[in-house]
Amino acid sequence: MLSKTSFKVWCVAIGALCASAAQGADPKKFNIEMEGGPVWQSRNDVRIPNDTGTKFSMRDIQGSGPFAVARVYFDYLFKPKHELRVLAAPLSVTATGQLAATTSFAGRTFAPGQPVEGVYQFNSFRLTYRYRIFAGDRWTWKIGATGKIRDAKVELRQGGVSAVDDNVGFVPLLHLDGEYRWNQKWRFNLNMDGLAAKPGRAFDIALKLKYDFAKNWTLAAGYRMLEGGANVKDVYTFAWLHYAIASLAFRF
């Protein structure tokens, strides 16, 4: 579930964009894109606390997938080269499996060889500013910065024992968007939010083939990779997720 803090921040961002839009909406300044598809996890390692906890694989408990996910974008081109983007990307997986060994997690102990329910949540809410640095006959490139609200939770439940570690925090990211147009209908798009530092890293990278099938309407399909985590005193958690995506966008 979305925490109250991240929900309020996201609502403020949406409200700011809508207020700006209402002041003077020219055609084709707005874009709404809905994306969905299955996601697989090739890695999801956890150790909490990092200094005294037991490292375990949430993937081994939940399986590799696929799991259903969806996200939605709202873009506002408020000047010819300047754009704002709001993203809501909830992600929550709950499944039951077994632990390979006795596991200490968040102050509680869980036994191997018995059913254990694992919950992995990584909701992402972002506000991006981007600037078009190049627009040619074929190529268009944009760069910018993203402010991300991370609403994360890891939880284990076994019998009457349960433990949870949740965290809501702000993460600054760099943004890159590049697009190659073959003709009036077909485009290839690369989109990325990402940054790496000593405490951890976060990368969300997508490759999409886009088709303008009607006036103002676009279909797209492709691959998305979400990779990253943190290695600090309190928490060790790294995940690598792979998406098969399809989307529908409307410009107005």
Average pLDDT over residues 22-35: 74
**Residue 234 has which token pair?**
């309190």
Angle at CA 126, nearest 5°, toward 121 and 129?
160
Q: Residues, the chain, total?
A: 252
Give 121's pLDDT tier (boundaries 50, 70, 90): very high
Residue 39 has pLDDT above 70, yes or no: yes
DSSP 181: E
Structure confidence by residue, pLDDT tens digits, 206-215 = 999 999 999 9
Give 71's pLDDT tier (boundaries 50, 70, 90): very high
Residue 23 has pLDDT above 50, yes or no: no
Q: How many Å apart are CA 219 and CA 14, to the nearest integer?
A: 24
Q: What is the pTM of this model?
A: 0.88
Residue 166 has pLDDT above 50, yes or no: yes
What type of residue is 215? K
**Residue 105 has which token pair?**
């997690």
pLDDT at residue number 72:
98
CB crowding 165-180: b at 16 or more within 10 Å, else e: beebeebebebebebe
Distant-in-sequence, close-in-space partners of 15: CB < 8 Å, separation ≥ 6: none
What type of residue is 214? A
pLDDT above 90: percentage of residues in the chain:
89
Query: For the chain, which residues make up each domain, given as ranges?
Result: 4-251
Question: For tokens 């709202």, what's the residue?
Answer: 74
Kindly report the average pLDDT of the chain as a whole number: 92
Radius of gyration for the alpha carbons in the chain, expressed in angstroms and rounded: 20
**Residue 61 has which token pair?**
């408990």
Q: What is the CATH number of domain 4-251?
A: 2.40.128.90
- In DSSP terms, which residues pair with 34 in a beta bridge? 72, 248
Contact in structure between 179 and 187 (CB atoms under 8 Å): yes
The Cβ of residue 113 has, within 10 Å, a number of other Cβ atoms equal to: 10
Q: How many Å apart are CA 148 and CA 53, to the nearest integer?
A: 28
Residue 177 has pLDDT above 50, yes or no: yes
pLDDT at residue number 25:
45
DSSP 177: E
pLDDT at residue number 28:
76
Q: Which helix (H) or strand (E) segment is 39 a member of?
A: strand 30-47
